[in-house]
Every structure is written in structure tokens, then in C-alpha cells.
Amino acid sequence: MAFSADELRVLRRALAIALHPAPLQDEDVQDCLRLADSVDEAVREAGRLRAFLLADLARYREALPGSLGGYLELLRDALAAGYDPGADDLAALRALRHNPAAAELLARCQVLAERSVRTRLARVSQATASAAPSPSRARLFALPGGRAAAEEPKPKPPAPAERPVPKPSEVFPPRRRPVPPPPPEERVAG
């Protein structure tokens, strides 16, 4: 992000006021608000550009291997902008590793992906460590559900009423044998 000379002047004044509080003139307040709007717009624009770049990268990845040159260039740009390569990118680069540029980019992406995974795992382990109770805390046994409740034997659920096991002839009734048709001599024409 680049600031113009006027924006840098406003930013410098705002920082000086933050360090040494003093009453502000209306002009200074308006300048700070305009600078804040400009920074917000730049952040929104960066988000839109990032979304466009990632969508373009996905289109080029789907068109591989025909779009190899464009895909590698877009991936380099995305990595320079702070993009963490995903599993799709790694799979595409593995399929294209016969190309020297793709092989070099695959090595770089693997390092970045591993670093990203390690960072996420460290955050998760820190979050779970801070959420777990400290071992030095004593347990409260006077509350319902404490040690006293755990030591009481729990009553066993009542056994279901026993009923007799049915005989196979009750479950599977006997088949009726088909009655053979009468012999042709005994048939009566009607």
C-alpha cells in the first residue's frame, strides 16, 4: 500500500496526536476521517483483487496442462501476495513436476504449505492448552457430581422381562404344498 504525500502528512499528525494528546481542530479530524476512508477502500480493493486472483488461479488450474505457463505465473503472483498453496495446487504441481519451473515452484509451495500447517497446529495447541484447567487447581468434591457421586454404585437398569423363545414353526409357518391339477381324463368340458 502506498500513501501520497498528503496522506503521509495526515498520518504523521495523527500519530503525533496519539502520542501527545491535544485538542484537535476540525480540519485535522476531517483529514483523519478521509485518510481512514482511503485506507478502508484500499483494503476492500485488495480483498477484491485477491478474490479475483484466486478465482483466476482456480480456472487456470482446472485447464491444466494446457494453461501451464499462465498457471505458474498466476501462482507466483499469488504466493508473492501472501497466498498459502492448497492441496489442489500441490497436486497440480506434482502432476507437472516434469517441467523445471513447476518443479521449482512445487518445492517452494511445499515449504510454504508445511509452514502454514505448523502455524495452524501451534495456534490450536496454544488454544487447547489455555482452555485446559491448570493441574494446580483443587477439585471441588462438595458439589453434586463430585467424588462422592462417582463412588456411589449406580443401580443397574432392570433386566427386560424374559419371554419364551418362539419355535421355528411359529416364526416360519409351514408351507402349503400345491395341489396337483386333476388328470386330463377327469376334466369336464363345460
pLDDT value of residue 131: 63
Beta strands in 48-134 (DSSP E): none
Reported as a single tens digit per residue, the pLDDT across 158-182 is: 666 677 787 777 777 777 787 777 7
pTM (2 decimals)?
A: 0.47
Q: Who's near 168: CB < 8 A, 6+ residues apart?
A: none
Per the model's pLDDT, the better-predicted residue between 114 and 162 turns out to be: 114
